[in-house]
Amino acid sequence: MKIAITGATGFVGQRLVERLQAEGHELRILSQRPTVAQQLTGCQVFDTATETSWLAALEGADAVVNLAGEPIAEQRWTPAQKQRLKNSRVQTTRALVTAITAATQKPQVLVTASAIGYYGTSETAQFTEESAAGQDYLAEICQAWEQEAQAVTVSGTRLVTLRIGIVVGPGGAIGKMLGPFKLFAGGPIGSGRQWVSWIQREDLVSLILEAIANPSYQGTYNATAPQAVRMADLSATLGEVLQRPSWLPVPAFALEALLGEGALLVLEGQQVLPKRLEAAGFQFRYPDLKSALQQFLP
């Protein structure tokens, strides 16, 4: 298949590219860093800053995967940064949908990222795909992001929206937690009671491949493993797998000082259930956190 991808240079995208390449697909990478993308993937790259790139990359593609977005937890959430977080997702998705609409040979499917932040946060509620959206800024971003993608269905392209949980793999949020653990200074972040709904990166990539190939996938899916954990359990399991202690909690104020409002993402989680994936019979290779961590940790 010919597959166009945004966000291909990221933590999820890089692994997706490797697995698609192993299956022999022809990839078209849309990137705001064309040189980096070219070096990382060796694929045909289109510069997202050039308006004509979008249609050129999309025309005749069979499938599109949309993973682009300014990283959520790397900078303090100033008003300008909050706008960047939202615009990077909404505008990329809008450009994709516009190009799909304009293409004479339209892709059959658009698989687009969203996030479990859609639901807001709670220590007690369980969220399925039918649950209402939350009230915080991340929920606002996710709603705007999903709404942009929704417009693609008018042109007859199948839409699969994945509300992705914390991706477990050698990078991302878990990658950031590994450093202190390796230095014997690891521990839970905040109260430890908050829920962490997660998915192993290999399972997420398998899910994207399945969503492309299987036409029965349509609409919104929670992309999370069946067993969410509390932060304290995540920390204890990390300590166990790394054979390091897990006793040095990271206080909430430290994270707040770093990220401002963005710290809520980590300090207050949500328990999200993959109800539609289970109904679809999706097989998680890493349904429990310990095996998910052992996949990439010694």
Interface residues with ligand NAP (CB under 6 A) are 7-13, 31-33, 37, 67-72, 84, 88, 92, 113, 115, 164, 166-167, 172-173
Closest separation between CB of residue 167 and ligand NAP, Å? 4
Nearer to ligand NAP, 69 or 187 (CB): 69
Answer whether 188's CB lies under 8 Å from 250's CB: yes
Strands 195-196 and 229-230, sheet pairing: antiparallel
Closest separation between CB of residue 184 and ligand NAP, Å? 25
Determine the residue with CB nearest ligand NAP: 10
Nearer to ligand NAP, 17 or 236 (CB): 17
Nearer to ligand NAP, 67 or 293 (CB): 67
Closest separation between CB of residue 11 and ligand NAP, Å? 4
Closest separation between CB of residue 132 and ligand NAP, Å? 19
The dihedrals phi and psi of 270, each to the nearest 5 degrees, come to -155, 145
Closest separation between CB of residue 116 and ligand NAP, Å? 7
Closest separation between CB of residue 219 and ligand NAP, Å? 18
- Other Cβ atoms less than 10 A from the Cβ of 19: the count is 14
Nearer to ligand NAP, 91 or 128 (CB): 91
Residues in the chain, total:
298
Nearer to ligand NAP, 70 or 136 (CB): 70
Nearer to ligand NAP, 11 or 54 (CB): 11
